[in-house]
Structure 1
Amino acid sequence: MSVAALLLLAAVPVQAVPLGEDAAACVAGTVPAIQVSILGLKDRTGRLKLELYPANEGDFLKDDRDLVREGKVFRRVWAQTPAGGGSVQMCIRAPAPGRYALLLTHDRDNRNKFNFWRDGAGFPSNTKLGRSRPKLAQAVIAVGGGVTGTSIRVQYLRGLGGFSPIPN
């Protein structure tokens, strides 16, 4: 990280600094990036993960190795879930302005594999996920030339109805 980026991070209030290896991109605001406000965490365990996919049905949630091998967009950013209360922000760079699909997961058990029974997930649309595979329309976000802000409310398995947000 450059000295200028570190100085910018130091000037931002503690809770406003986004997490993840792409944090400097959101602080500087000079490259296409997405800053996500993460809402509704069940607890402060494990890790948070943002993944950026092409915004088309064929590539949405496709295996990252296949996307990379095919020269398609894929980016992943991890961050430890902060122990303290308050807002949680994460940042992920985009390769260029355009439309992408964005996925957030809360890997509560640190196993790097989605645990249907334990982990949470969310998309920019914040519509209820239910029991079926997420639809591309739930995940699409338009990214501009600077930082695009969005909020994602994490959803967890809640009985027979499938995934939904935890009530406030």
Structure 2
Amino acid sequence: MLCMRIGIALAFAWAAIALVPAASAQIGEDSDYCRNGRGPAIQVNVQGLKDRSGELWLELYPANNTDYLRDDTDLVAEGKVFRRTRSRLPAAGDVAICVRVPQPGTYAVLLRHNRVGRDKFSFWSDGAGIPANRALVRSKPSVEQARVVAGSGITTVNVQMQYLRGFGFSPRS
């Protein structure tokens, strides 16, 4: 009788665990910042991945037209904000990538799905995403579409990945 009660209790415990949604896989070189709540940092919840090949790159830029998407070596040489965090993608599940920021403030971000493993963006195979989640079509994203205001803690944004479809970039759905 006692064994049956223990068995029933264990069955309910396992059922309760199965109902708890799985947490996002926290990836990136700065993942400890978001996982432990050590800000300031930006966590990007990634949606609409085409597949799990290659790496995910999250890049942090100054939030102005002149510096957004400029060469990282130039930005670093000039002492301006630039940070790139990258990670291989988990085989399955939700994905969140984290990048630490120097201090609370306004930044611009670009999320890149580097599917072919080259340092240069591959228009034909890589994906891109920005916080505004507007279709990129055939143009580079504007700094206005990429802006994120980071607080002193963890600032969370959802980004829909976009891949080449027809004549331009758009979400997969």
Q: Output the TM-score relative to the length of structure 1.
A: 0.88
Question: Mind listing any 5+ residue stretches in structure 1 that lack a counterpart?
Answer: 1-12
From 161, 164, 170, the counterpart of 1:164: 170
Asked if the contact 2:25–2:90 (Cα under 8 Å) also holds between the matched residues in 1, the reply is no
Q: Deviations over 1:98-151 (max 9, x none)?
A: 000000000001122210010000001101101112111110000000000011
1:57 aligns with 2:65: yes
Q: Equivalents in 1 of 2:110, 2:141: separation in Å? A: 10
Distance 1:42 1:27 in 2: 25
Secondary structure, counterpart of 2:132 in structure 1: coil
- Could you tell me which residue of structure 1 aligns to residue 50 of structure 2? 42
Contact 1:17–1:23, Cα closer than 8 Å, also in 2: no
Are 2:150 and 1:155 aligned?
no
1:119 aligns with 2:129: no
The answer as to whether partners of 1:97 and 1:143 remain within 8 angstroms in 2 is yes
Residues 112 and 15 of structure 1: is their aligned pair in 2 closer, same or farther, counting only changes over 3 Å?
Answer: farther
Please identify runs of 4+ aligned residues in structure 1 that moved more than 4 A: none
- Alpha-carbon RMSD: 1.2
Unaligned runs of 5+ in 2: 1-20
How far apart are residue 14 of structure 1 and its match? 6.6
Task: Tell me if structure 2 keeps the 8 A contact 1:100–1:140.
Answer: yes
Mapped pair 1:107 → 2:128: no
Task: Output aligned runs, 1:6-155, within 5 Å.
Answer: 15-84=23-92, 86-155=93-162
Rounded to whole Å, the distance in 2 between the matches of 1:31 and 1:95 is 9
* Structure of higher CA gyration radius: 2
CA distance in 1, matches of 2:169, 2:59: 19
8 Å contact kept, 2:25–2:94: no
What's the counterpart of residue 11 of structure 2?
none
Q: TM-score, normalised by structure 2?
A: 0.85
Indicate the SS of the match to 1:49. Answer: strand
- CA distance 1:24–1:70, change in 2 (3 Å): same
Where does residue 8 of structure 1 map in the other structure? none
Distance in 2 (CA, whole Å) between partners of 1:105 and 1:141 is: 16
Task: Give distance in 1, aligned partners of 2:38 and 2:54.
Answer: 30
Q: % of aligned pairs identical?
A: 54
